[in-house]
Amino acid sequence: MTESANKIVDLDQAKSLVGQWQSEGRKVVFTNGCFDIVHLGHVDYLEKARSLGDKLVLALNTDASVSRIKGPLRPVVNEYARARLMAALSFVDTVILFDEPTPLQVIEKLEPDILVKGDDYSVENIVGADFVTNRGGEVKTIPLVKGYSTSSLIEKIREAYS
C-alpha cells in the first residue's frame, strides 16, 4: 500500500490515532465534507484548517451520502478516488469515510480539539459544535476562496460542452 493509502482508516483506527496524538500534546483539528472534484478552494481550506493545530482529520462523505446531499448525479469522483486524493495532501493526516447524514457520531467518537468548517457556516450551525465546546475545544470557521465550488465547476463544464 502507498503512504497516502495508509492514511485512509476506519473510525476505530482514527480514534486510536487521535488518542495517540492528543496524549503527545498535539492539537487535533477535525473537518468534513464531500470534496468532489478537488479544486483550489478545497486545498486552501484544508491547508488553513491544518494550520490551526498539529494534526488534521478529514471525514469524507461516502458516495451514497454525497448522492443524498447533492443529488443523484453526484459524486462525480468516487469515494475511493476522493479519499486517495485527500490522503495525498501533505497537510491531511488521516481520512475516514462516513455514511451518516451528519458527522456528529464521528465527532463524538474522535473528540477533536478543534472543529472547523468554511465560513459559509455560522459557528452555532456547525454540527458537533456544542459537543466540542462542552469538552473545552474550539470551533472555528475559515474564509472560503471566492469563485471556487464543485457545483460551479460542473456548471462551467456543462456550459462549455453542451
Per-residue pLDDT of the chain (162 residues; tens, 9 = 90+): 678 889 999 999 999 999 999 999 999 999 999 999 899 999 999 999 999 999 999 999 999 999 999 999 899 999 999 999 999 999 999 999 999 989 999 999 999 999 999 999 999 899 999 999 999 999 999 999 888 888 888 888 888 998
Longest dimension (CA), the chain: 54
Query: Which spans in 24-122 are helix H?
Result: 40-50, 63-70, 79-88, 104-110
Q: Are 28 and 22 in contact (CB under 8 A)?
A: yes
Is 31 in contact with 56 (CB distance < 8 Å)? yes
pLDDT, residue 139, reads: 98
Count the domains in the chain: 1
Q: How far apart are CA 111 and CA 34, in angstroms?
A: 21
pLDDT given for residue 7 in this prediction: 97
d(C-alpha 79, C-alpha 84), whole Å = 8
Q: What element of type H or E holds 118?
A: strand 114-118
DSSP letter at 71?
-
Phi, psi of 12 (to 5 degrees): -65, -40
Question: What confidence score (pLDDT) does residue 46 get?
Answer: 98
Q: Which domain, by its residues, includes 56?
A: 3-161
**What is the CATH classification number for the domain harbouring 153?**
3.40.50.620
Here the cell at position 55 is 494534526
